[in-house]
Amino acid sequence: MDALITLLPGDGIGPEVTKSGRSILDTIGKEFGHNFSFSEQHIGGSGIDHCNDPLPSNTISSCNESNAVILGAVGGPKWDNPNAKIRPEQGLLGLRAALKVFANIRPVQIIPSLSNASPLKNHLLKDVDLLVIRELTGGIYFGEKKRNKSSASDLCIYHDYEVERIIRVAAKLAKTRKNKLCSVDKANVLETSRLWRDITTKTMSSEFPDTAIEHILVDAAAMYLINRPADFDVIVTENMFGDILTDEASMLSGSMGMLPSASLGESSVGLYEPIHGSAPDIAGKGIANPCGMIGSVALLLRHSLNLNEEADLLEQAIYDAIEGGARTADIATNNENILSTDEMTNVIINRLKK
Ligand SMILES: NC(=O)c1ccc[n+]([C@@H]2O[C@H](COP(=O)([O-])OP(=O)(O)OC[C@H]3O[C@@H](n4cnc5c(N)ncnc54)[C@H](O)[C@@H]3O)[C@@H](O)[C@H]2O)c1
């Protein structure tokens, strides 16, 4: 197959892990006879530095012409002035809106030999295999923001159609797994959550009557993710709750550096990025864990290119590399040999070669 992929390395460790993602795609292309071509563009702080714009117009047009988009990370202390009119994060939020990707899919699986890298006790991690679906384009992050001398407000707004479409995505994914959906809200306090719960209940009973649905308040969900994470199958929630819960869930897997994500909308042009940020504390050292990015490439192969065999093989290669003892610094717990970003990528590449 031929596919054009836009690469948005961004800032901090973004370029380091994006390079890994590209090498993996080059290998998959060679091994399976696909022709992947790439268009590299600026976003975030790199967009501000090169084009005075966190989301340059060339970036948007390249993404729209591509089959899929890979993003490293945006942000960092260099652009951290809270009073600045243009900020790196605007690039990411603007890109999600431009691509109309409203469903962020974050799988959390535990690789057994990494259970010691997690702060949780080993017995709690047994059988953890969950999927968090986070609504991406609504809620408090996008509502009107106001500030005067002594107060500030952020409007949280959700429309019925936004809830309906994300519940459909989550329920369809639940059907391919254990068919158990957990919707997380704060319906005891927030009006937006009461709308969320009403629409969820209606959509599930009319369209997915055979899928089990439970509603959990976000504070309780934060607790259950720690004390009974294996009970979850698919979790669906609104933008800010999903942002927070997925960072919490990342600790089940041992490191932020392990987790991939896919952001999908109505079209097949998906946005694929590891869940971590630009990690300024380790940027430029060549030690970032590339597994979150490489797992995101597997999601790209599956969801945007329909290459399920290649996606499965890549996920198996990550699993086997880790089970075989490969460790970057963030997931090392004993006196293992610590690999650089490139070395870890090569271990995975070697497992892909036929
Ligand atoms: N999607 C994004 O682009 C995104 C997401 C979150 C944060 N950010 C931005 O990133 C910057 C730093 O944010 P932060 O420090 O809160 O979060 P972060 O995810 O960048 O880092 C948190 C911690 O995890 C470590 N870490 C993250 N990814 C790693 C990897 N691949 N390998 C090894 N260790 C890894 C870091 O070294 C750091 O100690 C901020 O400017 C923030 O706005 C961007």
264-268 CB contacts, 8 Å cutoff, 24+ apart: 264/101, 264/102, 264/103, 264/105, 264/169, 264/303, 265/99, 265/100, 265/101, 265/102, 265/103, 266/100, 267/99, 267/100, 268/67, 268/68, 268/303, 268/304
Helices (H) and strands (E) in the chain, counts: 12, 12
pLDDT above 70 covers a percentage of the chain that reads: 99
Q: Report the pLDDT value the prediction gives residue 296, as an integer from 0 to 100.
A: 98
Residue 219 designated active-site: yes
3-state secondary structure of 235: strand
What does residue 203 show for φ and ψ, rounded to 5 degrees? -65, -45
3-state secondary structure of 106: strand
Q: Report the pLDDT value the prediction gives residue 81, as an integer from 0 to 100.
A: 85
Name the CATH superfamily for 119-252. Answer: Isopropylmalate Dehydrogenase (3.40.718.10)
Residue 247 designated active-site: yes
Among the listed residues 53, 247, 320, 342, the single catalytic one is: 247
CA-closest candidate to residue 190, choices 142, 155, 242: 155
d(CA 188, CA 71): 36
| Cβ–Cβ < 8 Å for 235, 184 | yes
Q: Report the pLDDT value the prediction gives residue 259, as an integer from 0 to 100.
A: 92
Among the listed residues 49, 53, 129, 141, the single catalytic one is: 141
Task: Tell me, using a 6 A CB cutoff, whether residue 46 lines ligand 1.
Answer: no
Q: Report the pLDDT value the prediction gives residue 57, as an integer from 0 to 100.
A: 97
| Cβ–Cβ < 8 Å for 236, 170 | yes
Q: Kindly report the protein residue whose alpha carbon is nearest to atom 30 of ligand 1.
A: 257
Locate all alpha helices (DSSP H) within 99-234, ordered by sequence: 122-125, 160-175, 191-207, 218-227
Task: Tell me, using a 6 A CB cutoff, whether residue 9 lines ligand 1.
Answer: no
Ligand 1: residue of 71, 276, 344 to mutate (most ligand atoms within 8 A of CB) is 276
Task: Tell me, using a 6 A CB cutoff, whether residue 130 lines ligand 1.
Answer: no
d(CA 308, CA 296): 13
Helix axes 291-303, 14-32, angle to 10 degrees: 50
Q: Report the pLDDT value the prediction gives residue 267, as an integer from 0 to 100.
A: 78
Among the listed residues 161, 219, 285, 312, the single catalytic one is: 219
pLDDT digits (tens, 9 = 90+) for 173-219: 999 999 999 999 999 999 999 999 999 999 999 999 999 999 999 99
State which residues of the chain have pLDDT below 50.
Answer: none
Q: Report the pLDDT value the prediction gives residue 95, as an integer from 0 to 100.
A: 94
**Model pTM score:** 0.91
Q: Kind of pairing, strands 152-154 and 270-274?
A: unpaired
Q: Report the pLDDT value the prediction gives residue 353, as an integer from 0 to 100.
A: 86
Q: Report the pLDDT value the prediction gives residue 269, as an integer from 0 to 100.
A: 86
Residue 26 designated active-site: no
CATH topology of domain 1-106+256-354: Isopropylmalate Dehydrogenase (3.40.718)
Q: Report the pLDDT value the prediction gives residue 62, as an integer from 0 to 100.
A: 97
> CATH 3.40.718.10 region(s) of the chain?
1-106+256-354, 119-252
